């Protein structure tokens, strides 16, 4: 916790869990054993010790969203995102300037002051025990041997109302001077010693310091301490029989009027009159816990623990209306993208719908203020086009039924990803162009394209456009799109230039079923999937040979062909290929072959082969490092070539 908002997020998250646990414990107070009653506080302890909002998750309520909304409403700033780096308060390294800074400083001072008070109280107690005199050690050892418990040095101190264990590393059993302590009280304290209950007491005190200004968590700390004593009572009763159990109850009853002033780092059988009364009631119920309740206790604990500790992932942006724009934008910032595929998907659907809140989910924090300003009068309707008009000069709108593709997805050296967003347009991009027909050399429609880069910003994946949206002719089809950039590999084989063009396309599966039953239709789901992986797409490569020799030699060639092997980086390297000839076939690494008979007045550029596969295999979308090609001219093996990427392997325009 580094500021007031991160503390607020942490303490609100814990408060929700605390309220639920108190309600559940009230339901089961007379049904489940003291072991469960104390152990269930471990769920709250885990929530308090884990940073709230980690991994974009929340517990019970979307506290990150509400904290962001409150912060934005009070400060007017949208360009920050509350993060709980650690569950303990960390000092600010800058001078306080705002009211929130001063309030956080006050909280930090209170936490330090309370911790100092506890430590000073403990130090004074240890000094007082050093002035005590050894006593009843033989009695303590006898009780320890009888019940198989560890023992520790015992000292008698004047003025003590009851016995207690003090310390974790060098524990001491403090006993009231001038009277003999009942063996059952010694048994109680030795059980505290065995189960390290003093350490649990310190943990409760530490959490109390961290949330000293939260009365609900103070109440839980008191209840946890009382449940710890009730659990120790249970352990005592398990070792006693008959009249000894009744005597133990009478001993507790005699402590009901004693002042409850236990210091941190100690244990004591006395914990106040009201708490003693509850413990005596628990003693009366001692035989009412059947053996089968142990399994029920574990089941109840697991049912509570998993959702409360793991939490839920924010999956969508709420639509709250224009008067709640601050809340909507807070929801967008906290429903951030946890995968690069989710970031690309969210950005594409922001353009498809014009939804500013979708863009906020995957936008850098530096752009959030501008987006919030644009959303000030925004109705969050699907036909809003502010975002589309900001992206470029394309005057047509994308087809929401056809979706999008990310072409040529490529990892960058700094851990990011780049790709070309392709959106089929519904109409002509502007008045200066016409529709074009489809044949083997032209394209059937217009596409809006934009180069994007996805990179990490802390826990978030954000998308940064690398250019303005612009229109190009092309065809959104499965088997590659030669109107879009490809990665090109080349090598010369005598009079022929052999070329390979590599291209990939990817998308998050967004097909939605519109109607149930036997007959149904599907449509493109426009809701972002910020945590998705690319689960549909293909990799396509085309091989061509271009004649570059003298025109008078052209007639000497009657056929051209090849067989090819893809060569990948280390980790994707296949065994060395062998020449399979022109009748060899292909395998899962897209090895292929092609042969063209050259007749008549053939074109200089000859298409040899092409193939396209789904990229279900891990890494299938990574471009080959090179191609190994066996080149045939007139049916005879002419040369073995290595096709290397041109222009340093960058994606180039065709």
Q: Is residue 196 within a helix (H) or strand (E), and if so which, with residue range?
A: none
Helix axes 325-334, 63-75, angle to 10 degrees: 130
Here the tokens at position 329 are: 């934008």
Three-state DSSP at 12 gives helix
Structure tokens belonging to residue 591: 């090895």
Stated as kind and residue range, the H or E segment containing 339 is none
Question: So what's the pLDDT on residue 87?
Answer: 87
Q: What is the pLDDT of residue 382?
A: 42
Cβ partners under 8 Å of residue 81, min gap 6 = 68, 333, 334, 336, 365, 458, 460
528: left (phi over 0), alpha (psi -120 to 50) or beta: beta
**DSSP annotation string for 560-608:** EEEEEEEE--TTSPPPPP---GGG----TT--EEEEEE--SS--SEEEE
- What gap in Å lies between CA 106 and CA 534, rounded to an integer? 48
Q: CB neighbours of 171 closer than 8 A, spacing ≥ 6?
A: 152, 165, 193, 198
Q: Give the helix/strand (H/E) hosting 539.
A: strand 536-547
Per-residue tokens: 120: 């000073």
Quote the tokens at residue 357.
């809140």
Radius of gyration of the chain from Cα atoms?
A: 36
d(CA 180, CA 477): 92
**Dihedral of alpha carbons 168, 43, 306, 215, sign:** negative
- The distance between the two most distant Cα atoms of the chain, rounded to a whole number of Å, is 124
DSSP letter (8 states) at residue 327: H
CA distances from 398 to 207, 471, 536, 583 (A): 54, 11, 20, 44
All residue ranges of the chain with pLDDT < 50 are: 320-322, 378-383, 438-442, 478, 571-590, 617-619, 654
Sequence-separated contacts (24+) of 303-308 with Cβ below 8 Å: 304/20, 304/21, 304/24, 304/40, 304/43, 305/43, 305/46, 307/59, 307/60, 308/17, 308/20, 308/43, 308/47, 308/59, 308/60
Q: Are strands 487-493 and 636-645 parallel, antiparallel or unpaired?
A: antiparallel
Domain boundaries, the chain: 4-306, 322-474, 487-649
Predicted pLDDT at 362: 92
How far apart CA 451 and CA 620 sit, in angstroms, is 21
Domain topology for 322-474: Nuclear Transport Factor 2; Chain: A, (3.10.450)
The pLDDT value recorded for residue 287 is: 60
pLDDT for 442: 47
Does the reported pTM lie above 0.75?
A: yes
Residues 6+ apart with CB under 8 A from 643: 489, 490, 491, 498, 499, 500, 626, 627, 628, 629
- Pairing, β 460-465 against β 536-547: unpaired
CA distance 613 to 386: 38
The rounded distance, in Å, linking the Cα atoms of 266 and 590 is: 71
Q: Which residues contact 526 (CB under 8 A, 6 or more apart)?
A: 349, 352, 353, 382, 400, 510
Q: What angle do CA 553, 558, 561 make, to 5 degrees?
A: 110
Question: What pLDDT is recorded for position 323?
Answer: 52
pLDDT of 544: 87
Nearest by Cα to 317 from 523, 65, 72, 514: 65
User: Tens of pLDDT along 596-619?
Assistant: 898 888 888 888 876 666 655 444
Helices 197-210, 215-239: crossing angle, 10 deg rounding: 170
The pLDDT value recorded for residue 504 is: 84
């Amino acid at each position: 916790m580094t500021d007031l908002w991160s503390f607020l997020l942490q303490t609100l998250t814990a408060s929700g869990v605390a309220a639920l646990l108190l309600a559940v414990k009230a339901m089961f107070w007379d049904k489940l054993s003291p072991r469960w009653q104390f152990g269930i506080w471990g769920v709250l302890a885990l929530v308090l010790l884990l940073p709230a909002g980690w991994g974009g998750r929340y517990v019970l309520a979307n506290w990150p969203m509400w904290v962001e909304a409150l912060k934005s409403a009070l400060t007017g700033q949208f360009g920050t995102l509350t993060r709980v780096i650690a569950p303990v308060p960390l000092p600010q390294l800058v001078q306080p300037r705002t009211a929130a800074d001063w309030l956080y400083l006050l909280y930090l001072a209170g936490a330090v002051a309370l911790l100092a008070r506890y430590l000073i109280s403990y130090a004074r107690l240890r000094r007082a025990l050093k002035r005590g005199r050894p006593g009843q050690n033989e009695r303590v050892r006898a009780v320890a041997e009888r019940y198989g418990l560890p023992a520790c040095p015992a000292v008698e101190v004047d003025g003590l109302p009851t016995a207690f264990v003090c310390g974790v590393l060098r524990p001491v059993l403090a006993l009231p001077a001038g009277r003999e302590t009942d063996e059952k009280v010694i048994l109680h304290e030795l059980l505290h010693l065995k189960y390290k209950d003093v350490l649990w007491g310190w943990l409760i005190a530490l959490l109390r310091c961290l949330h000293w200004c939260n009365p609900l968590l103070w109440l839980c700390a008191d209840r946890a301490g009382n449940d710890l004593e009730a659990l120790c009572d249970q352990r005592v009763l398990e070792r006693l029989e008959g009249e000894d159990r009744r005597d133990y109850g009478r001993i507790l009853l005699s402590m009901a009027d004693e002042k409850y002033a236990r210091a941190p780092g100690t244990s004591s059988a006395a914990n106040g009159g009201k708490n003693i009364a509850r413990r005596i009631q628990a003693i009366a119920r001692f035989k009412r816990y059947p053996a089968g309740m142990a399994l029920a206790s574990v089941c109840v604990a697991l049912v509570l623990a998993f959702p409360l500790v793991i939490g839920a992932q924010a999956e969508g942006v709420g639509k709250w209306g224009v008067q709640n724009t601050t809340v909507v934008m807070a929801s967008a910032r906290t429903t951030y993208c946890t995968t690069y595929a989710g970031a690309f998907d969210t950005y594409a659907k922001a353009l498809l719908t014009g939804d500013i809140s979708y863009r906020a989910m995957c936008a850098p924090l530096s752009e959030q203020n501008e987006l919030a300003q644009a959303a000030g009068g925004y109705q969050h309707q699907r036909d809003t086009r502010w975002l589309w008009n900001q992206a470029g000069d394309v005057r047509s709108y994308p087809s929401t039924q056809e979706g999008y593709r990310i072409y040529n997805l490529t990892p960058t050296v700094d851990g990011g990803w780049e790709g070309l967003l392709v959106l089929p347009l519904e109409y002509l991009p502007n008045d200066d162009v016409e529709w074009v027909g489809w044949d083997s050399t032209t394209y059937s429609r217009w596409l809006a394209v934009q180069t994007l880069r996805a990179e990490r910003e802390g826990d978030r994946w954000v998308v940064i456009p690398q250019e303005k949206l612009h229109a190009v002719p092309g065809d959104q089809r499965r088997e590659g799109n030669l109107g879009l950039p490809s990665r090109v590999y080349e090598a010369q084989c005598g009079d022929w230039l052999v070329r390979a063009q590599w291209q990939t396309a990817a998308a998050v599966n967004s097909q939605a079923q519109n109607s149930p039953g036997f007959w149904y239709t599907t449509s493109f789901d426009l809701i972002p999937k910020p945590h998705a992986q690319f689960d549909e797409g293909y990799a396509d490569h085309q091989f061509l040979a271009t004649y570059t020799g003298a025109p008078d030699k052209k007639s000497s060639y009657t056929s051209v062909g090849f067989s090819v092997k893809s060569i990948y980086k280390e980790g994707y390297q296949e065994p060395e290929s062998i020449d399979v000839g022109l009748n060899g076939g292909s395998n899962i690494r897209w090895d292929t072959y092609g042969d063209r008979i050259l007749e008549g007045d053939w074109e200089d550029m000859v298409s040899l082969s092409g193939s396209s596969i789904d990229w279900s295999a891990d890494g299938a979308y990574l471009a080959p490092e090179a191609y190994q090609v066996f080149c045939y001219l007139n049916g005879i093996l002419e040369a073995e070539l290595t096709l290397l990427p041109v222009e340093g392997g960058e994606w180039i325009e065709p």
